[in-house]
Chains A and B, each alone.
Chain A
Amino acid sequence: MEIFLQQIINGLVQGSVYALVALGYTMVYGILGLINFAHGEVVMIGAMLAISSLTALLGIGVPPLLALPLSAGFAMLGCMALGYGIERIAYRPLRHAPRLAPLITAIGVSIVLQNLAMMVWGREYHSFPQLIANSPHSIGGAIINDIQIIIFILALAIMAGLMLLVHRTRLGRAMRAVAENQHAAQLMGVDINRVISVTFMLGSALAAVAGMMVSANYGLAHYYMGFLLGLKAFTAAVLGGIGNLRGAMLGGLLLGLIESLGAGYIGDLSGGVFGSNYQDVFAFFVLIAVLVFRPSGLLGERIAERA
């Protein structure tokens, strides 16, 4: 029972990070109908920027509680600029090109980002500076520490904020209009290019926060961390119904739970044949299963290609 509770806690914390990243995929998809392959790398860059700036700030004696928001802001700004640039360079010129073209440039962008990151930050793991005591708390025998609590609450707060933004503001209305019908939105005076740029920047800012959370949770960051994280977050977005914001949140949390419960119990279930080293496989099977049985995801509409 303790193990079960522990896996639930781990799953929810990890899942809330997936949800933040999944939101980035789903927002871009909702508006452009395009899978932003490079999104995972934006998460990685966010983590790296945060760690570098945090280490630098702490190094010059800035108090941790000031350094943290400062470096978070720095990472978010950096990623927003990156997201803006990616859209301008790789996607905008190809908006009316055959679908294969932006997919291929997106892959190109993610390779470039990954290798640039490797040149800048090297191949080694970077550790996230310890800022707080990070004391563990016990709930029914399971352990949850301060960082996990902060991650979970912060993620929920950010998601709530995003929902408010999309449903209660002028910008949100413009975003929804563009998602619904680009042409009509343009006729109604919405600056489509601006809305698309803002969407990319918003998604990238979320990615930066998610990157910080992941590296804080594991204490580590690495130039290759974006790839798998991106793949899983995309799975989460599909699971919830891509293009649907609530779906991305639900999908993220669910995927986190599936993964941690799966990893926790696969050994027992398979009689020891498979171990937790197969953890990364679950997301993939979830993806395939969703695509086969409910391609629209849990909350989405049909996505199968039709006229």
Chain B
Amino acid sequence: MSHRPLCGSLRFGLLATLLRGFYSVKALEFVSGKHNARWAFWLLLAALLLLPFFTDALLGRGWVRIVDFAMLYIMLALGLNIVVGFAGLLDLGYIAFFAVGAYCYALAGSPHLALAFPMAFPDGVHLSFWMILPLAALLAGGFGVLLGAPTLRLRGDYLAIVTLGFGEIIRIFLNNLNAPVNLTNGPQGISRIDPVSVADVRLSVTQEIFGISLPSVHLYFYLFLAFTALVIFASQRLERSRIGRAWMAIREDEIAASAMGINTRNLKLLAFAMGAMFGGASGALFAGFQGFVSPESFSLMESIMVLCMVVLGGMGNIAGVILGGVLLAVLPEVLRHGVVPLQQALFGKTIVDPESLRMLLFGGALIVMMLYRPAGLLPSRVRRRELDTDEIVETV
């Protein structure tokens, strides 16, 4: 095993990680035996690859788009999970990093900058997606460090408030930086953003591959699927590493962690920056997918929603966070399609609009989860492993 070449190890690791990430989802637990693990993986992969077609056929094209957004949310939630779940730092302005990534892509991949700097960029800037993506991640990471450096040595609740403020500030700037130089186009936002191209295949138009017609939303689904897999992979590898253990030590007891030789400040900063980078990259994907960004997409409520995903699924538990992401990304749509007709049928009018009902449920979920099930919907990795061993019978 130890003589496996690096790329082989990476590939195997990726498969194994995907597998581990998914087979712990309860629905798949029945196939989690060793012999069936490989089978389960291929089955899952096939199911995921066919998902947009099934969704399209059963629910309609609009739902494929919803699934695409769900993937983006999962990526975001996994990024936030590094900060909140692994390192125990409450970041309430996480969406700001998403915004930084999205605007990075919007500026570097659209005609917009021609308005601000007609001399320098007569046609705007049109960098390729693969150049902007790392740029967006790095920029967001840089913002993370900038914000984290002064606040991370303070108590955790200060970080929460400062990040909360930071999220709002970014939005205020995005809303107002249309003058004197039109950088963000203010509340109108930036449109006509270049679509993502993968190896000269434009994802914005329907493509024929092997005689199968793949609409744009399907193509983006596969792109997001690949990125989500990558994020899951990275999260799992980080979790089971020296760095990940140090983060969890800080989460559990910061003083004991530093007494064990962990440089808590640097490692907290690292977690913050890593989370921000994931957020920035997801933001770039979002901008490319949507073709349009405006400050409206980056409100505090979005931060709260992503936090909810992490908390609901189980902080620090990757499979749980994925579950939380899926549930909460689909919930608003279910509410929209379920609650309104239901109220119409019952009362003849809409009394509670689905948007506020959604937020009410989020808020309620945060409270109830913390009070009654702080470990989240899925039992955590460690707890499960502990239950597997015979030596211990005690559970909470």
Q: Are A and B direct contacts in the complex by CB distance below 8 Å? A: yes
Q: Which residue of A is nearest B360, CB measured?
A: A115
Binds B, one of A50-58, A124-132, A211-219, A286-294: A286-294
Bits for A34-54, please: 1 = Cβ < 8 Å to B, else 0.
110100000000000000000
Q: How large is the interface on A (under 10, 10 to 19, 20 to 34, 35 or more residues)?
A: 35 or more
- Chain A nearest CB from B72 CB (Å) reads 22
B172 touches A280 (CB 8 A): yes
Among B156, B162, B175, B360, the residue within 8 A (CB) of A116 is B360
A111 touches B304 (CB 8 A): yes
A108 touches B151 (CB 8 A): no
A303 touches B155 (CB 8 A): yes
Binds A, one of B38-46, B191-199, B288-296, B363-371: B363-371
B370 touches A104 (CB 8 A): yes
Bits for A125-144, please: 1 = Cβ < 8 Å to B, else 0.
00000000000000000000
Chain A residues near B122 (CB-CB < 8 A): none
Q: Does B58 contact A (CB under 8 A)?
A: no
A284 in contact with B374 given A35-B160, A99-B156, A100-B88 (CB within 8 Å): no
A104 in contact with B172 given A97-B374, A273-B180, A292-B150 (CB within 8 Å): no
A103 in contact with B162 given A97-B374, A108-B365 (CB within 8 Å): no
Interchain pairs with CB closer than 8 A, number: 130
Q: Does B239 contact A (CB under 8 A)?
A: no
Chain B residues near A35 (CB-CB < 8 A): 157, 160-161
Chain A residues near B307 (CB-CB < 8 A): 104, 107
Among B92, B151, B164, B366, the residue within 8 A (CB) of A105 is B366
B161 touches A287 (CB 8 A): yes
B364 touches A291 (CB 8 A): no
Binds B, one of A7-15, A86-94, A202-210: A86-94
Chain B residues near A272 (CB-CB < 8 A): 180
Bound Cα distance from A272 to B165, whole angstroms: 24
Bound Cα distance from A273 to B158, whole angstroms: 31
Chain B residues near A231 (CB-CB < 8 A): 161, 164-165, 168
A291 in contact with B371 given A111-B362, A115-B363, A119-B352 (CB within 8 Å): no
Q: A100-B90, A105-B371 are in contact. List 10 more A-B contacts (CB 8 A).
A: A35-B160, A35-B161, A97-B374, A107-B92, A108-B362, A111-B366, A115-B359, A227-B300, A280-B172, A281-B172
